[in-house]
Structure 1
Amino acid sequence: MADPLSRAAARLLTPDEGPAIDFSNPPGAPALIGPDSVSWRVFKNPVSLFVGGITAVILELAEPRVRSGVWDHSSFKAQPLKRLKRTGLAAMVTVYGPRETAEKMIAGVVRMHGHVTGETPAGVAYQANDPALLDWVQATASFGFIEAYHAYARTLSQVERDAAFAEAAPGARLYGATGAPTSEAAWKQQLALMLPNLEPSEIVFEFLDIMTSTPLLPGPLRLIQKPLVRAAVAITPVEVRARLGLGEAFDLNGVERRLVRLAGAGADRAPIKGSPAVESSRRMGLPDDYLYRRRA
């Protein structure tokens, strides 16, 4: 499992253009959050990251202003793998990268988002740097990654889940998401407030079709790509699934659920050579398997 996962992680985190990020240098340079955080453990797992990222996008696309901004101003439809690489690398830099590298990258993203404006098909204006939309995007990302790890890799306690939400705050503030939830309870409150604004769209189904049919994973892992997409729908909050029309056809069956959990648990025990998690541990003077050791 480790070698295919290494290739998959490398493929999704290697940019098609621009310089590669060196997570191993400079020695001792702190990240926005420390290596003893829950987030460093959660983000090391490529299986749950893939699943949680899809869940986050489902939730983003349910909000019409975010949906228009994502769908009308990105390369996702034409080049989904390229978009996934950029998004995945940005997440890794935010969690693991040296603080100076993360701050520089995030500032560039904020500048780019400053040019993303438009109107939804219903005529509602949007701007990508709108704090309310940034809060929703940050909230969906935190929920997706935390819930996917909890469901398919390793059970997290309530304290750990709350900590993971809170640990996202330094990066969220740099992006402009100053009101993003810092606990699971705050996420549930935000979801309840946002729910009346969420609406079904064919774009959600188009997105899921792209994620299912595009060869995003290498070799044998491609066999579980469809179950991984179903796994993402399975952890989407039930009230959102109902609103979007993601019914029983998207459910995981028993075999698929066991397969996804086996993959997630396996990925949580196997250090991936050259991954941001391993390279960043080395930067902090920690052993390669620091984040993979079992904890009580």
Structure 2
Amino acid sequence: MASTTVTGPLRDSLARMILTKVAGPDPQTERMRVHGTPGPRWFAPDRPIRRVHGDASMFAGGLRALLLQSLHPLAMAAVAAHSGYRGDPWGRLRRTSYFLAITTYGSIPDAEEAIAHVQAVHERVRGTSPDGVKYRASDPHLLKWVHLAEVDSFLAAHQRYGAQPLNALEQDQYVEDAALVAAKLGVVDPPTTVAELRELLKEYQPELRGTTQARQAARFMLVHPPVPFAARPAYGVLAAAAVGLLPWWTRLPLRLPYLPLAERTVVRAAGDGLTRTIRWALTSPTLAETGAEA
């Protein structure tokens, strides 16, 4: 009883701190908007996408996805010029989190509305990269790269740090689930199996390189993150876990270390501990009673 009395408020406080960063100042309202709106959903409760996107491993997976996506010069140019990731990083995180939540768990009309909004934003995002190449965010080729990087990252993080890693069939089903949303966004022929995902990632590799913008973004996310001083140690573990999930060939272009032994031991243990702590906080009974859990 004494232990519960001490840890209860700490658990709730940690959960609310995380949720306000991810879902905004009123996470309970956001949750009800996603889960409480009646109507059919794209994905049944037993589909793998719901297990993956609802797990605490998504924190490491999301950071890995951003780092991997930055290696495409045109995708990075668009992010640098239009996303406002430096001026409003938490706002960008909340928008991305809401999109993932509403398309995974929300009613179909709400999910379609979110997709239409993102498509409208993509239509306005266009410009020229520092080396003179024109880009537009609605380009199906760039959309596919962003999708591949996200799916590969979320799956990699879940398989290493998720509470219930997927078996081989479920991994293919996850890629298939994610393809439904990608196709509605405008991705042409998204992969529907892990084998297809891996092959498409290889096809993009010749286009990838570490630009100045990509390295600046990596430094911002990993070295100078916009987090309170007290949270820096935990964020450092998250950053190390995300980097440890990246393929070896991404390290040199982004000027990131490659320490396989440390990543398999110290980093993995620390990342697992942090993910378990986040999961513990976000499954607080108090938050469950109020409907504010993640």
TM-score range, shorter chain: 0.7 to 0.9
Partner of 1:259: 270
Measure, in 2, the Cα distance between the counterparts of 1:65 and 1:98. Answer: 33
Distance 1:124 1:159 in 2: 40
Corresponding position of 1:78:
87
2:40 alignment counterpart: 30
Q: Quick one: distance in 1 between partners of 2:114 and 2:286? A: 20
> Are the aligned partners of 1:110 and 1:129 in contact in 2 as well (CA < 8 Å)?
yes
Deviations 1:60-114 (A, max 9, x none): 1100111111111111021211111111111111111111101001101101110
- Counterpart CA distance in 2 for 1:182 and 1:128 is 23
Counterparts of 2:286 and 2:186, CA distance in 1: 31
The TM-score with structure 1 as length reference comes to 0.82
Aligned residue identity for 2:44: G
> Is 242-251 or 257-266 further displaced after alignment?
242-251
Structure 1's 266 and 90: CA in aligned 2 closer, same or farther, altered over 3 A?
Answer: same
Residue 273 of structure 1: CA displacement? 6.8
Residue equivalent to 1:284: none
- Matched with 1:49 is 58
Q: 1:91 to 1:101 in 2, by over 3 A?
A: same
Aligned residue for 1:126, secondary structure, equals strand
Residue pair 2:215, 2:254 contacting (<8 A) in 1 also? no
Q: Distance in 1 between matches of 2:92 and 2:46?
A: 30
CA contact (8 A) 2:77 2:213 kept: no
- Name 2:140's counterpart in structure 1: 131
Structure 1 position 240 matched with structure 2 position 250 = yes
Say if 2:175 and 2:193, in contact at 8 Å, map to a contact too.
yes
After alignment, is 173-182 or 264-273 more displaced? Answer: 264-273
Aligned mates of 1:275, 1:180 — CA distance in 2: 37
Question: CA separation in 1, counterparts of 2:277 and 2:234?
Answer: 14
Which amino acid in structure 2 is aligned with residue 79 of structure 1?
A: D
How many matched pairs?
Answer: 276
Give the letter aligned to residue 192 of structure 2: T
Structure having the larger proportion of residues in helix: 2
AA partner of residue 102 (structure 1): A
Residues 273 and 24 of structure 1: is their aligned pair in 2 closer, same or farther, counting only changes over 3 Å?
farther
Gaps spanning 5+ residues in structure 1: where? 281-287, 292-296
2:73 aligns with 64
In the alignment, which residue of structure 2 is the partner of 1:225?
235
The residue identity in structure 2 corresponding to 1:14 is G
AA in 1 matched with 2:212? E
Task: State yes or no: 1:271 paired with 2:280.
Answer: no
Q: Residue 59 of structure 2 aligns to which amino acid in structure 1?
A: F
State, as a whole percentage, how many aligned pairs show the same letter. Answer: 27
In 1, the alpha carbon distance for the partners of 2:110 and 2:196 equals 29
Other-structure match for 1:168: 178
CA change 1:87–1:200 in 2 (3 A) is same
Measured after TM superposition, the shift of residue 247 of structure 1 is: 2.6
Alpha-carbon distance change, 69 to 117 in structure 1, aligned in 2, over 3 angstroms: same
Quote the Cα distance in structure 2 between the aligned partners of 1:104 and 1:7: 28
- Alpha carbons 2:126, 2:137 under 8 Å: kept: yes
Query: What's 2:154 paired with?
Result: 145
Q: Distance in 1 between matches of 2:209 and 2:104?
A: 31
Partner of 2:123: 114
Return the index of the structure with the highest Cα Rg.
2
* Contact map agreement 1:81 1:216 (CA 8 A) in 2: no
- CA shift for structure 1 position 2: 4.5
- Structure 2-normalised TM-score? 0.83
Note the residue ranges of structure 2 that are not aligned, 5 or more in a row: 1-9
2:98 aligned residue (76, 89, 93): 89
Deviation at 1:267, TM superposition (A): 4.3
Partner residue, 2:167: 157
**Shift of residue 50, structure 1, vs aligned partner:** 1.6
Change (3 A) 1:209 1:117: same
